[in-house]
Amino acid sequence: MTLTVTDLVIARGGVPVLEGLSFTLNPGRALVLRGPNGIGKTTLLRCVAGLQPPVSGRIEGAGDTIAYAGHSDGIKPTLTVAENLTFWARVFGAGSIGPALDAYELNDLTDRHAGNLSAGQKRRLGLARLLVTGRPIWVLDEPTVSLDRSAVEMFAGAVRAHLAQGGSALIATHIELGLEAELLEVGPYKARPAPLDDFDGGFL
């Protein structure tokens, strides 16, 4: 499933943040978004995930192909690790949670309440959710926050395996993942401030 974004303009809180953005994400490929804080990476990912409509432009190939992981992991502290993961597996109609537990080395933690996990362990659980969605395009917002070095390796391994199976990934991150990924610097697409819409505007 190819994700195609054409001439996209997105806004946050009514203020345009990125404009004229176009890219294509083919199966088996990963695209890493780079850019300073506040440039609109999260907004772009939320648009692609369908949580927010773009101002203009087209997003094709999104919808039921997207597995989104944002800043929060959507983990219920009073459920155990296995219960959290099983819930998402059943929502997405995907099979067993075993491979996801293996990929992020969560097997020793299955019966622990998620509220007792460390921040990095919670993040691993949140990322393990992607594996039970069975969806081809991963849209990830800062996935490595609070992960230690070995967990980042696990994550990179999971992404590599996903790409090898014909999936694709759109990742906003500031760190080097060691992936064969294309880089997209979104800075140049920063939206110009809207021209002042009053009489004096012509003189400024």
Write out the residues near another protein by the rule CB under 8 A. 46, 49-53, 64, 66-79, 83, 87-88, 90-93, 129
Minimum CB–partner distance for residue 101 and another protein (Å): 18
Dihedral sign, Cα of residue 191, residue 3, residue 88, residue 99: negative
Are the C-beta atoms of 144 and 111 separated by less than 8 Å? no
What b/e readout covers 101-131, taking b as 16+ CB neighbours within 10 angstroms? bebbebeebeeeebeebeebbbbbbbbbbbb
Amino acid identity of residue 94, one-letter, is A
For another protein, the closer of residues 64 and 197 by Cβ is: 64
Q: Which is nearer to another protein, 23 or 92 (CB)?
A: 92
Judged by beta carbon, residue 53 or residue 95, the one nearer another protein is 53
Please state the closest distance from residue 52 (CB atom) to another protein, in A: 5
Going by the DSSP 8-state scheme, the letter that residue 75 receives in this structure is -
- Could you tell me the smallest distance in angstroms from the CB atom of residue 127 to another protein? 13
Angle between helices 119-133 and 81-91 (to 10 degrees): 30
Residues 120, 130: Cα–Cα separation, whole Å: 16
Kindly state the smallest distance separating residue 169's Cβ from another protein, in Å. 15
Smallest separation, CB 110 to another protein (Å): 16
Phi/psi-derived region of residue 6, left when phi > 0, alpha when psi is between -120 and 50, beta in every other case: beta
- Rank residues 74 and 187 by Cβ distance to another protein and give the closer one: 74
Nearer to another protein, 49 or 184 (CB): 49
Cβ at position 21, least distance to another protein in Å: 18
Distances (CA, A) of 150 to 103, 143, 187: 12, 14, 30
Complex with another protein: residue 2 or 52, whichever CB lies closer = 52
